[in-house]
Structure formats: structure tokens, C-alpha cells
Amino acid sequence: MNCINFLKNEKLLLKIALGISAVWIVAQIVLIAYFWKHPQISDMGAYITMAWNCFNNNQWYPMAKDVYSDFIWAPGYINYLVLQIRIFGTLNFNAVLNLFLNIAILLEVYYLGKKFFSKRTGLISVIIFCLFYSNLFIVLGANTENPFLFLCLSALCLVFSGKWKLVIGAALLFAIANWIRPLATIFLFASAVYFFITKAKFYNYIALIIPYILVIFIIGTITEKKIGYFVYQSTTSGYNLLMTSNPNANGYYQYIFGKGDVGFIENKKTMTFVEKDSIWKDRSFKWIKEHPLRYIGLFFKKIPILYVNNNWGDVSHRRSEAELINGESKFLKEAPYSIPYYLTILLFFYSLWINRKEILTVKSVFLVILITGTVITCLFPAMPRYHYPFIFTVILYAAWGLDVKTSAS
């Protein structure tokens, strides 16, 4: 049976998708067992340290002393880790929770593929998702990506249900996701676009926006009572923006905050995160105003950086992401792990072409997420793992292209 007939046979496709999914789940269980208690690096190690500091002080994040840190960082996620410590007495089970979140994300990708395209598209999406290297290894790290995407996709599924009561639930999930990563706003925006395209009743917009604002207000108010500042999300924008708006900016993450660097602040230990963020933003905006074309030109470097590979989730052989982007891990060495990813990107563009007449239909809601997510991400330094929240869109469209092509054959 050739490839086209295999894809046409829905019953066989279902069996293949279930089989690959089962192998994928077992492989993650094996990885979790093998890398149990594996040291966490980069941002993940910092999240863990901060969570333990809060637990040892019998507090939630941020604490009063965090006012003098450089920024407030992923507060929703760090509190999620604190909650795990309070329940389990350890963070060793985070990988197990990630596994369940990963399975839920897989089911949600299938649901979205089936609802907006076809059952076959949903099944092909499942197969592609399981073949992605990062989607296998992502369970190992204490990363924000897994819970963030789970919350956002769960919210989208509720929005697409067409029931305004479920839209309220979606708004709550979006607000919690925003507490983890501010990028939740792109999914919120895509939901509003969906309502516009489908000519939804006005009360759907109300059900989406009002509860979202209310939860943000509650989170911010509780935080303000603790630390004196209304904080409902990360406050890293000034810190990150300066890394891509300075004379030596190259699109990558840079540490430019040491003495003599553009980000250095004298006596910054006595300053609040608000004061430091203001200083870094002022320096960034000044440079951008003076070099607008250079700042815009960096987008042509950031987009390739963002999508260069899909093996960022592997913690088994890499000491830090900085080593990857600084060249210690060469492209040719890393590329083989991303072959399914590269093929999917090619299929994505092929699908855009053959389905170009349908791009501006309701299916475009996913492109809204991909495009706005890419643009907003590239306002700041880029790294391969930052594409994770949007890549499900590429998978759905690639699967759709295969579906349409085989159906026409």
C-alpha cells in the first residue's frame, strides 16, 4: 500500500496514530525514569531555586524581598512549582505532571484538527506531533512551555465550543496562562478574531473579556497587598528589550548587564524591579528611536533563529541554551534531530499554497496565532524554544495539506 492509499484509509490511519501515540507515551515514561532528578539548567534551574526560596519562607511568589530583584519572572509558573512542593514535598514529580499535560495537548491538537479541517487532518496532526523531537523531551524540564500551551489550547477549545458559559471558563484559563507568560494575549486576540469571523453574538466578547480582566485584577491586587506593586504577569520586558536594542545586538540572547555594559545600573541592588525596568526601557526606546531600521532589520535574523530547529527540549546533552546559540552545538550536529520538523515546515508552506483560497476563512484563526506570536516574540531576543506555543499551527496546516493532497489523488 503506497503512502497516498495509507493516508486515504481512515481506519488504518487511526490505528497508526494510536500506535505512534502509545509508543510516544511509553518513550516519555522511559525518559522520565532515566533522567529522574536530572539537574535543571538555564531558566528552569532558576524557577526551581525561586520556588524553593518561597517554600522555605512559607510564602508564595513574589515575596517582599523580590521587589529588589531585576524583574518578576513567570509568577504563575513559580507558584505552580511552590504548590507542587507543598503537596509532594519535592519537584521530582513535575516531569510526570508534564507528561499528562503533554498527552492533553496532543488530544487538543487532534480536536482542533478534526473540528476545523477533518478527522483525517486531526489524525495526521497527531502523528506529526509525536514525531517532533522537542515534543518528546519537553516533559523532562521545569519549563513554562508545557503548562502554558495546555492552558491556552484548553481555552481555545472552550472558545470554539460555541457556548458562552464555556467561554467564561476560557477567559479564566487565559488569565492564568498570562500569569505564566504574557503571550497568552495572542490567543485571546485570536479568540476575538474567531468571534468576528463567525459573527458571534456580542455577549461572547463580554464572556471572554470581563472574566479575563477580573482574574487579572484579583491576581494583581493580591500581589499588591504583598509587595506594594500591582503585578499580574512577568515584568521582564525592559530587561529583554535592551538585549535586542543596543549597538551589539545580534538577535540572540545576550548578557549585557555587567559593569561597563549597556545594561549596567549603578547601585541597582537598592532599586526596585519597577525602577530598573523603567531605566532599561528608556535606554531601549532611545536606541530604537535613533536606529529604527537596524532594529527592524534584526527581525530578518530573529525569525531564522526562532525556527532554526526543534530539539531545544533535550536536556540530556546540553549544558545551557546559551551554548547552543553561541555555537558550541553546531547546526549540522543538531539538524538530524529536527528532520520531521523541517519536513513539516515545508508541508506547511505547501498547504498554504494549495489551500490559498481558504486561508481567509475561519481556519485563519490559527495563522493569527502564528503570525502575531512570531512578530511579538521577535520584538525581543529570539531562541528556538520560543516557537513552541505557535508550532501546533504549523502542524495543523501541514496535516491539512497532506489531507487535501491525498483526497484529490
DSSP letter assigned to residue 22: H
For residues 290 and 284, give the distance between their C-alpha atoms in angstroms, rounded to a whole number.
10
Residue with cell 472574566: 211
Closest CA to 71 of 370, 344, 371, 276: 276
For residues 220 and 21, give the distance between their C-alpha atoms in angstroms, rounded to a whole number.
40
- Does any domain span residue 1? no
Task: Identify the domain containing residue 103 by its residue range.
Answer: 9-265+272-408
**Could you write out the DSSP letters of every residue in 51-98?**
HHHHHHTT--SSPGGGGGSS----HHHHHHHHHHHHHHSSSTTHHHHH
* CA atoms 4, 5, 11, 15: torsion sign: negative
* Integer CA distances (angstroms), 26 to 39, 99, 109, in order: 22, 10, 19
- Does any domain span residue 3? no
For residues 142 and 180, give the distance between their C-alpha atoms in angstroms, rounded to a whole number.
13
**Is 162 exposed, middle or buried, given 0-12, 13-18 or 19+ CB atoms closer than 10 A?**
exposed
Looking at this protein, which amino acid is placed at residue 75?
A: P
What does the pLDDT read at residue 1?
47
367-370's contacts with Cβ under 8 Å and 24+ in sequence apart are 367/393, 367/397, 368/186, 368/189, 368/190, 368/193, 369/186, 369/187, 369/190, 369/393, 370/394
What is the reported pTM?
0.93
DSSP letter assigned to residue 63: P
- Does any domain span residue 297? yes
The maximal CA–CA distance of the chain, rounded, in angstroms, is 70
**Could you write out the DSSP letters of every residue in 105-129?**
HHHHHHHHHHHHT-HHHHHHHHHHH
What does the pLDDT read at residue 325?
47
**Is 13 exposed, middle or buried, given 0-12, 13-18 or 19+ CB atoms closer than 10 A?**
buried
What does the pLDDT read at residue 2?
58
Cell numbers given for 4 = 497516498
Give per-10-residue mean pLDDT for the chain (409 aa): 65 93 97 90 91 97 96 97 97 96 98 95 97 94 95 97 92 98 96 95 95 97 96 96 94 88 92 96 96 95 92 62 47 77 96 90 94 96 93 97 83
- Does any domain span residue 357? yes
What does the pLDDT read at residue 176?
98
The length of the chain in residues reads 409
Q: Give every CB contact of residue 10 below 8 A, 6+ residues apart in sequence.
A: 119, 120, 123
| CB count in 10 Å sphere of residue 101 | 20
Residue with cell 512542593: 85
**Could you write out the DSSP letters of every residue in 212-255?**
HHHHHHHHHHHHHHHHSS--SS---HHHHHHTTSSTT--SS---
Total domains in the chain come to 1
Cell numbers given for 66 = 523580590
What does the pLDDT read at residue 327?
46
- Does any domain span residue 393? yes
390 touches 373 (CB < 8 A): yes
What does the pLDDT read at residue 272?
96
121 touches 407 (CB < 8 A): no
- Does any domain span residue 32? yes
For residues 339 and 345, give the distance between their C-alpha atoms in angstroms, rounded to a whole number.
10
What is the distance of C-alpha 229 from the center of its chain? 26
